[in-house]
Amino acid sequence: MRFTLQTSDIARDLAGTEGDIARSVTAAMRQVTEGLKSDLRADVVDSGLGQRLANTWRGKTFPESGASIEAAAFVWSKAPNIVDAFDRGVTIRSRDGFWLAIPTPVAGKTGLTATGARKRITPGGFERRTGMRLRFVYRRGRPSLLVADEARMTRRGLAVKSRSKSGRGQVTAIIFLLVPQVTVRKRLDVEATATRWAARVPGLIASHWR
């Protein structure tokens, strides 16, 4: 029995095999990208952290077009600090060593900067947005408060400056709770989710093999 092999045949066969591998690997990586992103989003929602934080997870497969044996899946969060805090469990303290100001629902979500831009709510931002001064209330053994006097509540449940001259309907609204630190308990396990998908890679490549 004899076999006759030509260099051109070997090159053609190897090229075809390499192309099949590249297509299989790339298809598998695209599946990993979407699957890992979806699972991480589901983990955030299941942990009670909300859809908004879940949607910060993004995914991309390289190359973006075509196929490559070295295809890779890249998944990341646009809010890495928040995700990391819930992934590790951390204690957050004020930068200046005083208080952390935690807004209550009546404070609203945004305030004004010194230039008039809208930013996430802060005590200064609240005062600039509403024109009301905040008053400090110390409470021994409990979180201290920043309150707004002579306020009124809107239909949306926000504290705004009262225009009543008689004082009718005016309230003292609790705008911020002041605490020395906040401990964020671990609620996510990003590494475990990523590890599960990494273990599935060989099987996914095989499933896409023609």
* pLDDT the model gives residue 35: 95
Domains of the chain by residue range: 7-89+186-207, 92-184
φ/ψ region of 119 (left if φ > 0, alpha if ψ in -120 to 50, else beta) reads: beta
The pTM of this model reads: 0.67
Question: Based on C-alpha coordinates, what's the Rg of the chain?
Answer: 28
Spatial neighbors of 59 by CB under 8 A, at least 6 apart, are: 33, 34, 36, 37, 73, 74, 75, 76
pLDDT < 50 stretches in the chain: 1-7, 10
* pLDDT the model gives residue 21: 86
- Residue 63: cis peptide before it, omega within 30 degrees of 0: yes
φ/ψ region of 16 (left if φ > 0, alpha if ψ in -120 to 50, else beta) reads: alpha
Spatial neighbors of 197 by CB under 8 A, at least 6 apart, are: 32, 35, 36, 39
Q: What b/e sequence results for 120-150 when a residue is b if at least 16 CB atoms lie within 10 Å of its CB, and e otherwise?
A: ebbbebbbebbebebeeeeeeeeebbbbbee
Residue entry with tokens 């590249």: 22
* pLDDT the model gives residue 180: 86
